Amino acid sequence: MTGWEIRLPNSRGIPFFFNTETKESTWNCPPGITREELKELPGPNLSLSRLQEFPVGQIRVSHLLVKHSGSRRPSTGRRLILLAPRTKLSKC
C-alpha cells in the first residue's frame, strides 16, 4: 500500500486519512487511491461504512455559513473572498 490509513479522532466522530510514512493527514481521500484500495485501508471499520456513502473526491457538510452583501455583518466572515448578491444564493 501507500502508507495511508484511516483514523478516527477522539474529539470528532469524523474519519480522516493519515500517511504513516510522511506523517501527512487530510480530510479528503488521498489522490490516486481507488475505491477498492479505500476499502482495504487499515483503520476503524465504522469509518469505512461512513466513507463509502459518498463518492471519492466529494465531501459532505452538515452546516454552511454563507455571507452575502445583505448580511448584517458581512465582515465577520472568515477569509471573506466574495460577497454575492442575496438573490444569487440558493438553498439546498
3-state secondary structure of 4: strand
pLDDT band, very low/low/confident/very high, at 80 (cuts 50, 70, 90): very low
The whole domain housing 36 covers 4-51
Across the chain, what does the average pLDDT equal?
70
Say if residue 12 is in the same domain as residue 45. yes
Place of cell 452546516: 63
Map grid coordinates 478516527 to a residue. Answer: 8
Q: Kindly report, residue by residue over 8-40, the tens digit of the pLDDT.
A: 887 767 788 899 999 999 988 888 888 788 777
Asked whether residue 84 carries a pLDDT value surpassing 60, the answer given is no
Q: List pLDDT tens digits, range 55-67.
A: 566 666 666 666 6
Choose among 70, 67, 71, 62: nearest CA to 79: 67
Q: How far is CA 2 from CA 7, 17, 37, in A?
A: 15, 12, 10
Whether residue 77 sits in one domain with residue 42: no
pLDDT at residue 19, rounded to an integer: 92
Residue 57 domain-assigned?
A: no
Q: Give the neighbor-by-neighbor strand order of the sheet with 16-19.
A: 4-7, 16-19, 25-26
